[in-house]
Amino acid sequence: MEVVSSSHSFLAFHRTPSSAWRFPVNGLGPGHAKLTRPRRSAILCVGGSGTASNPADSGEVHVSNGFYVSDVDAALQGIPKKAGEIEKMIIPGLPEGPQSSLISTGFWEWKPKLTVYYEKSGSQNSKAPAVLFLPGFGVGTFHFEKQLKDLGRDYKVWTTDFLGQGMSLPCEDPAPSNTIGEFADDDAFWGFGQELQPWAEELVYSIDLWRDQVQHFIEEVIGEPVYIVGNSLGGFVALYLAASCPHLVKGVTLLNATPFWGFLPNPARSPRLSKIFPWAGTFPLPSIVRKLTETVWQKISDPRSIQGILKQVYADHSTDVDNVFSRIMETTQHPAAAASFASMMCAPKGQISFEEALSRCQMQGTPISLMYGREDPWVRPIWGIKVKKQVPESPYYEISPAGHCPHDEVPEVINYLLRGWLKNVESEDSIEIPFLEDPNYAEDGVSRELEFVREGSKKSVRVRLFGSKISLWGQVSTFLKYGLSNKRLEWTI
């Protein structure tokens, strides 16, 4: 494990001129499926954080002209076989035992009393791209274990817990109580008192805080621009950061990204309107909020509630979610968890919306890929299609069966698609995006069955690459098919 202080590292970037990252005017039409991008300018890294003591750090990797190679590259091409009208492809399974990349952990002190937990893998791949995974709401770094162990063989892979979640909860009470017996469980909850600590005066667990957290984490800990892969809430944060700091983000992959976060108006965007609301997620919590939180928290932190949610968001109920369940339960037992949850639920919206962030990324030329589980009951397929319509040049893969967390449910598929997309962007389009070997697929799309071996048994899922031509009927058809399949899922639960 390593501990990194924000005061002990810094980064200076040679910024690529913004104009160099823009699409040509004629390159944004729906008929263009490839990204048109110039070669990148050099990046200067000054200083940097220390690295963890990890056996993996002394490993060797074969490098050719700064581009990574591995023993699974050949398998990435797949072995196509015809299966009716759907082409079947064999893709690699997850590595096991010594073949897996080792994971190291660390804590980074961003601000006084605000410490961020992170995990990393593949430190030995010094010339490979850096990839940062951002989790969804209520989970953390543990949700990307399958990516760190697999993709860490070829890349420098990182993941971090958002402040207020996972293992990035405060180690001190932000608002301790100065009275005794104010609530039935005074010792069980932090942040329920009125004695506000100086370090928590401006603390709000908002999407703006998480955007700033990830920005400084890249600058001070990772030390180089990254590709960001975000699931659910993490997808929104990834897109938000890419729109705000394009010099830090080489590309974004959205995994069932939530297209909205927060209900209250943002003070910077709507100062007058925001004044109408007396509380917006700050500490200390008002009395009525404390009482409501105590009641709600008892229900949502109940093991049966968490089990029910996991059963709802995972389409394949044979998926082992024991580790996910136990880690979520661990977090709920932290004394700061309830007050942090209340702050998140009442925090204001971000300074820009999801759609605005997406538009900025497109104007800046930020590469984007979309990988969505089709049976997601929360971020339904219609949301993924809507994003695809806004950025028609970006590949959109719809995976079935898979729910809200495809990276954990079908990691073999996500890792395969990610490897292919990263190689495409790094090679500046000289290596084709997965499924786009035939130019016609860029407009019309294609469906394939991907088969892999998991724990000695064959499994397969269907993956559809949507083309740039998405008709209104296609959207309605997808919605109707989803509705019917969702009903069937409900009947089996």
Write the DSSP string, 390-409.
HSTTS-EEEEES--S-HHHH
Query: Contact at 8 Å (CB) between 455 and 347?
Result: no
State mean pLDDT over 356-367: 97
Identify the residue with better confidence: 362 or 32: 362
Which pTM value belongs to this model? 0.81
For the stretch 199-230, pLDDT in tens is 999 999 999 999 999 999 999 999 999 999 99
C-alpha span between 245 and 357 (Å, rounded): 11
For the stretch 241-298, pLDDT in tens is 999 999 999 999 999 999 999 989 988 888 888 888 889 999 999 999 999 999 999 9
Exposed, middle or buried by CB within 10 Å (0-12, 13-18, 19+), for 234? buried
Give the CA-trace dihedral at 283, 287, 293, 295, to 10 degrees: 160
What domains sit in the chain, N to C, each tagged with a CATH number?
92-480 (3.40.50.1820)
Exposed, middle or buried by CB within 10 Å (0-12, 13-18, 19+), for 330? middle
Res 121: pLDDT = 98
Q: Across all residues in the chain, what is the average pLDDT?
A: 83
C-alpha span between 461 and 140 (Å, rounded): 26
State mean pLDDT over 461-490: 63
Say whether 358 sits in a helix, a strand or coil: helix
State mean pLDDT over 401-407: 98
Query: Contact at 8 Å (CB) between 316 and 402?
Result: yes
Identify the residue with better confidence: 370 or 263: 370
56: pLDDT strictly greater than 50: no
Give the whole-number percent of the chain exceeding pLDDT 90.
69
Give the whole-number percent of the chain exceeding pLDDT 70.
77
Phi-psi label, residue 130: left if phi above 0, alpha if psi -120 to 50, beta otherwise: beta
